[in-house]
Structures are given as structure tokens and as C-alpha cells.
Structure 1
């Protein structure tokens, strides 16, 4: 293989690694989705990073990196579940300091009804 071909294959591999798209099922259990994504959209539209999730039956307590606490119910049709599935958010919490790689991974993740991992 000549040097020109080697350089081209390295560029293709770098693009493939950068643009790797993950797929999850769209209608999975809400708490499993939260444990996997580790992001929480608050009512104001701010995206927070999740520090801990404590599941107690049909409810869970979420503690973010900015030490806000949310008590949420396990509902696939809730506002937060819809916002996570559709990737809606108005801003990112500065106190949580969500890393750029996590936001890129979240935006590259596809949620499909018939294709992807069941978590």
C-alpha cells in the first residue's frame, strides 16, 4: 500500500469513529434511558448532568451535578421523556459542566421505534 492510500484509510477510519451513530429503542423504560444517558432536561429547558439516580418502585430521585434534586415518576409519556427522545433543550447548565463529548454522543444517538438496543 502506498503512502497516499494509507493516509486516505486513516482519514476514513477517523471519520467513522467520529460519526458513529448509536441506536436505542424509542419506547424503553424511562429509568433505564436515564441511567444510560445521564442527562436531565429541567422544566425550564436546561440540560443537567445526572450524578446519582435512586430508584424506589415507580418513582426515582435524581441528583444533578449542581446538587438539584428531582423526584420523577416512571412515565414514558412524560415531558422529560419526550424531551430526551426528541433531543429538545434550550440550554446547558453551567454549574453541572456537562462535557462536550457527552453532548456530541447524545446528539449522535438515534432513538428508533423498531431498531436498536433495548438497554
Structure 2
């Protein structure tokens, strides 16, 4: 089995700071079910402004229990944005990421 065929499992803690998780993954699930790639993220207090690769801007709050936080943890999305052009290796890396309560990196 080659190194490219071997999938590495990544574990992150479930209840870490939401902004740190979004900054690490560089992915954003929109309300329509699309997964966008993040170009830049500017944090101002408890609110952050995200700019995606398709030049959409979102203002998000630092909430661990929000819709977007649940979607990122549970990998709930329908498809990736065609304009953002998220590479396949990044989607596979995201699919191999696990969020657990008591085990994993604190970021």
C-alpha cells in the first residue's frame, strides 16, 4: 500500500473555540448546503468576517452550538462550491477528520 493510499485519521476536540476550528479547516458550510473554501478570515472581538474564494462574505459569531459548527463537526453538506474549486485532497482530508469529546488536538 502506497503512502498516498493510506488515509491518516485526524482528531480534534469537539468543544474547542469555533474560530480556531474554522481557521484550521479553512472550510465554511453555507446555509444552502454548499461547502466553501475560505480565502481570508478577520476576527474582531466575538465576530469574524469570512471571505470565501468565490468572493462571498459572511459574518459569523463565536458559537460552539451554531448551525455552522454542527455542520462542520458532523460533516453535513451536499456538495462543494464549484466557484471555490476546493481540491479533492482537501475534501478527503476533511472526511478523515474526527471530532471527539475527550481525545484529540486542542488547536
Q: Match for 1:90 among 59, 74, 78?
A: 78
Query: TM-score scaled by structure 1?
Result: 0.87
Task: State the TM-score, normalizing by the size of structure 2.
Answer: 0.96
Aligned partner of 2:3 among 6, 11, 14: 14
Q: Which runs of 4+ in 1 moved over 3 A?
A: none
1:18 to partner: Cα distance: 2.3
3-state DSSP of counterpart to 1:14: coil
Q: Name the structure with the higher strand share.
A: 2
Distance between the aligned counterparts of 1:49 and 1:67, measured in 2? 10
Aligned residues: 107
In the alignment, structure 1 residue 63 sits paired with structure 2 residue 51? yes
* Greater share of helix: 1
RMSD across aligned positions (CA): 1.2
Gaps of 5+ in 2: none
How far off its partner does 1:94 sit? 0.2
From the CA coordinates, give the structure whose radius of gyration is larger.
1
